Amino acid sequence: MTRRDFARTIDTLPATATAAWVFEGPSARRAAQARARAEGRDLRLRSAYKTLLHEVLEQGLLDNASRATIHYPVVEGCPEDRFRLECYPLHALVSHCEIAFAPRPHEGEGLPVYEIETPDARHIVPVPVRWVELDDGSRALAACGWVEDGQGGRHLHTEYETIFEMVCAHLRAMPLDPLSPDEPDGPFFDRLEVIVELPYEDQVLPVGSEVISLAEAMHEEIYFTALEIFQKRLGLAPGQRSVKAGQIVPLVRRGGTPRLEIQTTRAEPALDRDQPGRPVLDTATQWLYPAQISAHLAALGGTGYAARSRQGRGVEGRHVAGRGPARLAISAGQHANESSPMVGALRAARDLAAEDEVSFTLNPLENPDGYALFRELCAENPRHMHHAARYTASGADLSHGAGRYESAIRDLAHARLPAEVHVNLHGYPSHEWTRPLTGYIPRGFGQWTIPKGFFLILRHDPAQEALARAVLQAGLDALADFPELAAQNRRMLDLYRRYVGAESFEVHAGCIPFTVSREDEALYPVTLITEAADETIGGEDFRIAQEGQYRVVRAVAGMLQRRAEAS
């Protein structure tokens, strides 16, 4: 076990400091500045995270401006729009001001800077960053602490950075002894807990589900960097989702003193939080408990099939035979922190079973180990993304499970019904996703850093082009004809486009983004993947997300039924 407390950087600044950039929220920085003034010192404290956004809001730089141009730095070796993305969602926070962005190459050895031009003023905002070496051998420009003392500026090693670096050092050095001789490539631990206590408050923004959270950013950094470290140690390619180190659990909590504790434990399924019953699905505004999912699944009738997860939880599926020739596979819960698919899938399956026309299989919760972790993490931070619950307890994506444990549920479903079409329901972050200590933009997931609304992904065998296009069209039309979702998508897309220059997707009816790709040798000839912005939402936003999931499944099933009848 590793355990250590850390001094808070704002309490240990050099006496000669005149300005510093730290990982702290506005109230803590204001309080530290007041203490400095009481001691006769003139000290300015700024945010090391999303520096431009904080500077504009805290200093009122655009309060009286009707328009502004923000010249953002472009640094060689970084994505061109990296510093533009860091301004998100400024447009929505100062809606009275018309903001334009203009790139400007960064030159020289000093810190990159933004320049804000308004009709009446000009503001220069430096951004504290430093180059860091990543485990795959590449470099990234990371956010960092910075201090100025009249003799120039230098990197200020904050407790936020130190905690992260200590976690990385531990992961690089820990022994990798397989838990079972039958699996020499891992897992190497059942559950690796990285407990971090930070004295920071989340800043909820009045824009959708947006929140500025240093705690959430730390969770994301620890989890995905751990995957990257184990990928490197095991000789896997960067981004390879088959890494099976074990279940990595960053538990980032609010506490008075910065603290780090690392320990390996065993998962205890018997301690799961669960709740029985069959709550109403149609108007559901929050995620379901496993017992509720199981009860709704059993009510469908048909024939059950089951697997068992790595940690011993049941993984259930249902095959319901309809009278017609149309066949459909439905799945949800592959990535267990995406919680709207379970509700939408069960709703659609209930209606299809009642109509008794389309044959289908339903796997409503494919990753119960991840879902248990999701619920555990939600108890502490109910609106964070919780990507540690994304993959299975082995550490790998369910799609890389080689038919063992929970991944067997898909093979069982296909053996029951080799459908032509698979509707695979998913979600993605409902607010900005960042990794400030490894380059800001999430590595390998840059397309998902800012929400852009309910999204569709079509993958298909080249020989099934006509069927695939019909499936896609059914899904797109179903979403475009849902007024609340279409309006929500338009709002998200409008804000997204202000920060992202080039789009890597097409848009249907001005509001539904989608992509299409060909894929050989998949389990099903055509797969339609939904992506609702649902990590992690509740209330009316959740209802819209699960309704969107429901409508896509129903639309595809209806299209298959009509197509079968016509032939």
Which residue, chain included where needed, has tokens 């079509």? 458
Evaluate whether residue 274 is within a structural domain.
Answer: no
Residue 158 has pLDDT above 90, yes or no: yes
- Do 329 and 388 sit in the same domain of this protein? yes
Evaluate whether residue 213 is within a structural domain.
Answer: yes
Report phi then psi at 76, rounded to 5.
Answer: -60, 130
Strand pairing class (512-518; 455-460): parallel
- Do 494 and 346 sit in the same domain of this protein? yes
Residue 440 has pLDDT above 80, yes or no: yes
AA letter at 38: A
What's the rounded mean pLDDT across residues 4-12? 96
Residue 241 has pLDDT above 90, yes or no: yes
Residue pair 510/405 in contact (Cβ under 8 Å)? The answer is no
Strand pairing class (98-105; 67-74): parallel
Residue pair 461/525 in contact (Cβ under 8 Å)? The answer is yes
User: Looking at residue 176, what is its pLDDT?
Assistant: 96
Reduce the DSSP state of residue 417 to 3 states and report it. coil
User: Looking at residue 348, what is its pLDDT?
Assistant: 98
Total of domains in the chain: 3
Evaluate whether residue 392 is within a structural domain.
Answer: yes
User: Looking at residue 462, what is its pLDDT?
Assistant: 96
Residue-wise pLDDT tens digits, 327-339? 999 999 999 999 9
pLDDT band at 567 (very low <50, low <70, confident <90, very high): confident
- Do 503 and 460 sit in the same domain of this protein? yes
- Do 466 and 453 sit in the same domain of this protein? yes
Nearest CA-CA partner of 471 in 328, 340, 334: 328
Positive or negative: CA dihedral 144, 147, 153, 155: negative
Residue pair 421/526 in contact (Cβ under 8 Å)? The answer is yes
Nearest CA-CA partner of 224 in 404, 449, 47, 431: 449
Question: In sequence order, what are the beta bridge partners of 363?
Answer: 331
Instruction: Report the percent of the chain where pLDDT is more than 70.
Output: 100
Last residue of a domain, one of 236, 269, 302: 269
User: Looking at residue 270, what is its pLDDT?
Assistant: 79
What's the rounded mean pLDDT across residues 31-37? 96
- Do 201 and 167 sit in the same domain of this protein? yes
- Do 403 and 482 sit in the same domain of this protein? yes
Evaluate whether residue 445 is within a structural domain.
Answer: yes
Evaluate whether residue 370 is within a structural domain.
Answer: yes
* Chain-centre distance for alpha carbon 197: 21
What's the rounded mean pLDDT across residues 351-377? 98
SS (H, E, C) 19-77: EEEECCCHHHHHHHHHHHHHCCCCCEEEECCCHHHHHHHHHCCCCCCCEEEEEEEECCC
Report phi then psi at 307, rounded to 5.
Answer: -125, -175
- Do 140 and 74 sit in the same domain of this protein? yes
Last residue of a domain, one of 139, 159, 179: 159
Alpha-carbon distances, residue 233 vs 13, 186, 223, 400 (angstroms): 37, 12, 16, 18
User: How far apart are the C-alpha atoms of 332 and 330, rounded to whole Å?
Assistant: 7
User: How far apart are the C-alpha atoms of 286 and 283, rounded to whole Å?
Assistant: 9
User: Looking at residue 382, what is its pLDDT?
Assistant: 96
pLDDT band at 271 (very low <50, low <70, confident <90, very high): confident
Residue-wise pLDDT tens digits, 524-535? 999 999 999 999
Nearest CA-CA partner of 191 in 229, 253, 246: 246
Question: Which DSSP category does 388 fall into?
Answer: G
What's the rounded mean pLDDT across residues 353-377? 98
Alpha-carbon distances, residue 145 vs 22, 134, 225, 345 (angstroms): 5, 19, 20, 46
Q: Which domain holds residue 378?
A: 287-566
- Do 155 and 187 sit in the same domain of this protein? no
Evaluate whether residue 276 is within a structural domain.
Answer: no
pLDDT band at 152 (very low <50, low <70, confident <90, very high): confident
pLDDT averaged over the chain?
96
Residue-wise pLDDT tens digits, 49-100? 999 999 999 999 999 999 999 999 999 999 999 999 999 999 999 999 999 9
User: Looking at residue 512, what is its pLDDT?
Assistant: 98
Last residue of a domain, one of 234, 269, 304: 269
CATH number at residue 448: 3.40.630.10
Instruction: Report the percent of the chain where pLDDT is more than 90.
Output: 96
- Do 408 and 545 sit in the same domain of this protein? yes
pLDDT band at 455 (very low <50, low <70, confident <90, very high): very high
Residue 301 has pLDDT above 90, yes or no: yes
Evaluate whether residue 255 is within a structural domain.
Answer: yes
Nearest CA-CA partner of 86 in 110, 108, 55: 55
What's the rounded mean pLDDT across residues 458-472? 97
What's the rounded mean pLDDT across residues 159-173? 98
- Do 312 and 390 sit in the same domain of this protein? yes
Residue 315 has pLDDT above 90, yes or no: yes
pTM, entire model: 0.97
* DSSP H helical ranges for 395-499: 408-416, 465-480, 483-497
Residue-wise pLDDT tens digits, 98-141? 999 999 999 988 999 999 999 999 999 999 999 999 999 999 99
Report phi then psi at 402, rounded to 5.
Answer: 55, 30
- Do 414 and 453 sit in the same domain of this protein? yes
User: Looking at residue 181, what is its pLDDT?
Assistant: 95
Residue-wise pLDDT tens digits, 201-215? 999 999 999 999 999
What's the rounded mean pLDDT across residues 423-432? 98
How open is the CA angle 540-545-548, to the nearest 5 degrees? 125
- Do 462 and 392 sit in the same domain of this protein? yes
Total number of residues shown for the chain: 567
Evaluate whether residue 282 is within a structural domain.
Answer: no
User: How far apart are the C-alpha atoms of 351 and 25, rounded to whole Å?
Assistant: 48
pLDDT band at 150 (very low <50, low <70, confident <90, very high): confident
